[in-house]
Amino acid sequence: MKTLKYTIALLISASCLLTSCGDDDIVLEKSTCNKVTINMTNDTGSDIIDFSINNTTWDNLENGTTIENICVDELLIDYEFPILYFSGTMDGDDVKSIAYLHWCGVGLYTENEGVYNIEIKVRTDWNEEYLTYEYIVE
């Protein structure tokens, strides 16, 4: 009986490890869908060079400009907050979205419709700059 308890505990632990999420699990791809539309506006005060969203490069995102109509089939959401992994180079430094710091929440679900207007901003935590974002859902 004791061996059965240890076996069950080991299986549960292995299951949690195998199903944990990482920043490369969800990949947004450039597509021609009619499901989720994302508009990304750079409100950081600087240009973002080699701007990429979930490993898909979208070129440079100049300060004050917007990449419109990024169309994806689905978007991962954590308690109404869209999970977007984006990165680039800003003022000579590599920067990443705050989503890279965490995201294996219990409130995760997939959204497959809607328009998300994202404003990228700069946030400094632990002496590092991160790209954070505010969003409006239409």
Q: Dump pLDDT digits (tens) for 39-68.
A: 999 999 999 999 998 778 888 999 999 999
- Total domains, the chain: 1
Separation of alpha carbons 92 and 50, rounded Å: 11
Mean pLDDT for 80-102 is: 87
The predicted model scores a pTM of 0.70
List the Cα angle 77/123/28 in 5-degree steps: 35
Choose between 107 and 117: higher pLDDT: 117
DSSP result, 12-53: HHHHHHHH---TTTS-------SSEEEEEEE-SSS-BEEEEE
pLDDT band at 3 (very low <50, low <70, confident <90, very high): very low
Q: Is residue 79 part of a domain?
A: yes
Residues in the chain: 138
pLDDT category at 33 given cuts 50, 70, 90 is: low
Residue 6's pLDDT band, with cuts at 50, 70 and 90, is very low
- In-domain check, residue 7: no
CATH number reported for the structural domain that contains residue 36 in this entry: 2.60.40
pLDDT of residue 125: 74
CA distances from 121 to 42, 47, 66, 110 (A): 7, 12, 13, 24
Domain holding 87, by residue range, is: 23-137
- The per-residue pLDDT for range 111-132, each reduced to its tens digit, is 999 999 999 998 877 777 778 8
Helices (H), 20-72: none
pLDDT for residue 133: 87
Which tokens in the block code for residue 17?
């490890």
What's the rounded Cα separation, in Å, for the pair 102 and 84?
Answer: 11
Over residues 75-94, the mean pLDDT reads 89
